[in-house]
Each structure stands twice: as C-alpha cells, then as structure tokens.
Structure 1
Amino acid sequence: MAITDLFEQVRKKKPLVHQITNFVTVNDCANATLAIGGSPVMTSSPKEVADMVKLAQALVLNFGTIDDMSLEAMEIAGKTANDLHIPIIVDPVGVGSTPYRTEKAMELLDKMTVQVIRGNASEIHRLMGGDIVTRGVDSGALSISNAELALLAARKLNSVVVVSGAKDAVSDSSQTSIIDNGNPLLTKVTGTGCMATALIGAFCGVTGDYYSAAIAGISTMSLSGELAARNLKDNEGTGTYRTRIIDAISKMDQSIWGSEVNIHEEIAL
C-alpha cells in the first residue's frame, strides 16, 4: 500500500491504538491519535491490559514515566499482542539516562517481538549497547548520521527503527528513508516525540507494511510541526504552537502530505 493511501485508511478504519504511555504526555498522545483519525485507549492497569489489547489494532509502549507497575503491564500487553499478531511500537524515552531505565528497556525488547522502535539518536544508540549518556529525554551527540544509525539499529534490533532529529530517518535494514521536514520549535514543546510514536501506531493499525507506516507517522509529526510554525503569528508562542500542531495533524491528508513532504531514500550501507 502506498504511503499516501494510509491517511484515508486510518480515517476509514479508525484503528484502536492501545497506549501504555507516560503521564506527562498522555493527553497529547490521545489527541494526536484522534486528530489523524485513530481511536486511542490509554489503559495501563496490569489487571486489564490483556483484555484491552485484544480489542486493539496496535499497541504503543512508551517509557517516559516507567515504574514497576507499568513495566508489568507492558510485559502482559506485549505478550498478548505477539500472540494475536498485533503490531507493537516502542518509544524508549530517556533510555540511557539511568541504569534502571536502560536495563528494563533492553529486558522488554528481549521478551517480545517489536515491529517499530522510535527514539532520538542517543536512545536508539543506547538500545544497541552504545555508551552515550542520554540527558533526560534529550539527545546527546553522535558521530554518525541518523540514517546510518537507523540502518545499523534495524539490523541489530530486528525491527523497523525510526531515529528522530533535525532530519528523521527510518530503516527496516533493507531500505532507509530520510525525512527533511520539521521546525526547531518542535523541541520547545514537550510530547512531540511521544505524539509521533502515537501516530506511527495509528498507521501500523491499518497495514502490515510497518516501514511505510513508520514513515507516514514520523513525517506527519515533522510536517505538522513545520506547518504549525508557518502559521504562527508574531505575538503567538509555544502554547499556541502546540495547539496548531494538533490542528495540522487533523488536516493532514494525502494531498497535503504529498505536496509538502521532503523525503528521499538512502542507499543501504
């Protein structure tokens, strides 16, 4: 299925995206899912996540505010999703910042099959066993490009990998794409990465082509950030910008995406 067709499919099928996510950005993730046409559910109790996953078309696991209970819920939900062949999208928020967070993320990936992983460069590098230290949820500096990192991580982690940054990169180990959209203001609003992962989840809920779904999700977020910044007035700041991002997501379709996205494929290394 072409990437442009996915926008219509999401709005037609309204995939239920079960998200075990963090309490800082849970509302934004739900609103982003609704804006693109999906249906969010944010159940996180270990006592009911298995039953909720059975109703969903995609499962998003976000590490933003993990604790022992949320990790238990993620394990139960992930096993259920694997048993039912429901795609899992993992957002390793802050991995590399503390030993606990890093260890638990790696343990989780060992316990389930994950279709898509989205993080910034330092988070993805740390998941691969690198020693760069993540500064909270911010990315540290790496000597390789996001495209190279995405490709290497996809090979090592056996998943579609999305590396967010000034230029986003997506790889499934055999093909790698770079999306050159976005705006620096995206780094001034909390939750934009989490929203991107939620969007990827919505697209994964309507196709088995997770590489295309990942491209659709991350590019929708970056492009919406670009369009939102373009529409800001001189007296408007980051609060209005946050709202305009949701507006841009809600208006995104194959026509806008096709005319505004700046994407190209990299030659595999």
Structure 2
Amino acid sequence: MGQQHFLEKLRVKKPLVHNIANIVVANFQANGLLALGASPMMAEGIEEVADMAALADCTVLNIGTLDQGTVLSIIEAGKSANKKGIPVVLDPVGVGASEFRRNSVTTILKEVQVTAIRCNVGELATLGNIEWQSRGADAGEGQIDVQLTAKQVAKRLNCIVAVTGVEDSVTDGQTTIQIDGGHDLMPLITGSGCLLSAVTGAFLTVSEGHHLQATANALSFYKQIGERAAKTANAPGTFAVEMINSLYSLTSEDLRDNMKIVEKEDIQI
C-alpha cells in the first residue's frame, strides 16, 4: 500500500483520534489533526476516558505532563481501545527523566497492548535499558545502536517502534524501514513530536493491518511537512504555523514525488 493511498483513505475516513495529550501542546496537536483531515478528541478525565476511547478510531497516549491521575486515565483508555480493537500509540515523552516516568511507562506497557511506540533516541534507550544521560523531553546523550535496540524493544513488546530524529527508523522487530528528510527547525517547535504521534495514530486507522507500512508512511509524510513548511518560514514561530498549513495542503501527488522510504536489511538479534 503506497504512501499516497494512506493519506487519501485517511482524508476520506476523517478518523476520530482520541488523545490523552501533553497539556503544553494540546492545541497544536488538535489543530494539526484537523488540518490533516482527522477529527481530534482531547479527553483525559478518568470518569470518561474509557467511553471516549470506545468511540474513537484510535487512541494516542502521551506522558508529557504526567501525574498519577494521568497514568490511571492512560491505562483506562488503553484497555478500552484494546477491547474495541483500535490502534493505540504511546508517546513516552522524557521517560528516562525520572523514576516516576520510568515506572509509569513500565506499568502502562504491562496493562495496555500498544500498536506503536513513537519515541526519540533517548526514550528508546530507556525502553531498551541502556545507560543514557537524559535531558528531560530532549533526546540527551549516550551510545546506542538505534536499529538493533528498536528491534529488540519491538520484539519484546510485540509492537511497532518508531524512533525519530535526523534519520527515522521504524521496525516491527523483523523488518526495519529508514526514513530520511525533514528540516532543522522541526526540533525547535514545542510539540512537533507529540503531533507526529497523533498523525501516526491517524494513519494507523486506515492501515488495514499494515501497521509497519502505515507508521513508516506517517513519518515520511511528516518529514515532508517539515520540508514544505521551511520553504516559506525561516524561524520557529512562523514555521509552526506553516507546519499546520502544510498538513492541510500536502497532496498525495506531492508525496508520491518525494518519498524517502528505504527498507533496510534484516538485523539478526
């Protein structure tokens, strides 16, 4: 299934994407989903998350602004999504920054079967139990074989692992796909990764079981969004606006002409 077909099907379906969002970027995330062609639902109250997840086409779980109540809501929403059989995306923002975050993600992953984890290299290192110098939500510093570690985590958790950065890697534990592109301004926008996790969830709603391909295509699409936004913006403030505009205006034909997806040889682990 080609990248353009995922986007076309998404814009026809207009999936309802339930988000337990990072409060810092909830507005950016919701506007980005609307521009893409999806319908955002931002609900995290423990009293209603199970019902909201059951209404949705996917649920996106983000630990960016975490407390114990959010953890409980994430688990309730995730279980409800699992019961319905819809995709679940986990964004383990800054998971290595505190013991509370590490323990919370461990608990979430025991209680909820996630479809995909969208993380940066530092977050992957924590998930892979590799020593790393965390810098909050930023990637931080350390030494890691990204593709090998991602495959190990994907196999252990039985999910897709998408690691984003200058070069993105997506794996299901067997096959690894590399995605190039993007722009240097993307990391300077608060919530660019959070929005990508939501975009990934939207793409997964039309995956028809092709979770690896849908995730890789979502990441490639998003890198092209960054490239397109940079053509008319040269500073973070205007770049954020142009990202929203590009989510709205990028067409299937544009995608077809600029695909930068390469399937890598399998790495034995």
Relative to the length of structure 2, the TM-score reads 0.95
Cα distance, 1:231 vs structure 2: 2.3
1:252 is aligned to 2:250: yes
2:235 maps to amino acid: G
* Alpha carbons 2:120, 2:165 under 8 Å: kept: yes
30-39 vs 14-23, which moves further:
30-39
Counterpart of 2:197 in structure 1 is 197
Counterpart of 1:150 in structure 2 is 150
Structure 1 CA distance for aligned equivalents of residues 205 and 94 of structure 2:
25
Structure 1 CA distance for aligned equivalents of residues 174 and 212 of structure 2:
10
Cα distance, 1:251 vs structure 2: 1.5
1:140 is aligned to 2:102: no
Counterpart of 1:267 in structure 2 is 265
Structure 2 CA distance for aligned equivalents of residues 184 and 152 of structure 1:
29
How many residues matched?
266
Report matched runs for 1:25-174 at 5 Å.
25-174=25-174
* Alpha carbons 2:25, 2:191 under 8 Å: kept: yes
Cα distance, 1:86 vs structure 2: 1.2
**Where does structure 1 lack aligned partners over 5 or more consecutive residues?**
none
**Where does structure 2 lack aligned partners over 5 or more consecutive residues?**
none
* Alpha carbons 1:162, 1:214 under 8 Å: kept: yes
SS at match of 1:184: coil
1:15 maps to amino acid: P
Structure 2 CA distance for aligned equivalents of residues 187 and 252 of structure 1:
20
* Alpha carbons 2:133, 2:141 under 8 Å: kept: no
Cα distance, 1:261 vs structure 2: 2.5
25-34 vs 210-219, which moves further:
210-219
2:71 maps to amino acid: L
Cα distance, 1:144 vs structure 2: 3.6
Structure 2 CA distance for aligned equivalents of residues 248 and 148 of structure 1:
33
* Alpha carbons 1:121, 1:149 under 8 Å: kept: no
1:209 maps to amino acid: H
* Alpha carbons 2:87, 2:115 under 8 Å: kept: yes
Cα distance, 1:209 vs structure 2: 1.6
Structure 1 CA distance for aligned equivalents of residues 173 and 4 of structure 2:
22
1:115 maps to amino acid: T
2:254 maps to amino acid: I
Q: 1:59 to 1:197 in 2, by over 3 A?
A: same
Please give the per-residue CA displacement for 1:178-201, whole angstroms capped at 9, x wherever unaligned.
111111111111110001001001
* Alpha carbons 2:124, 2:163 under 8 Å: kept: yes
* Alpha carbons 2:131, 2:142 under 8 Å: kept: no
Structure 2 CA distance for aligned equivalents of residues 87 and 192 of structure 1:
21
Structure 2 CA distance for aligned equivalents of residues 155 and 204 of structure 1:
19
Cα distance, 1:145 vs structure 2: 4.5
SS at match of 1:134: strand
Percent identity between the aligned chains? 36
2:210 maps to amino acid: D
* Alpha carbons 1:89, 1:117 under 8 Å: kept: yes
Cα distance, 1:152 vs structure 2: 2.6
Please give the per-residue CA displacement for 1:116-146, whole angstroms capped at 9, x wherever unaligned.
0000011012012222132111112343443
Cα distance, 1:212 vs structure 2: 1.6
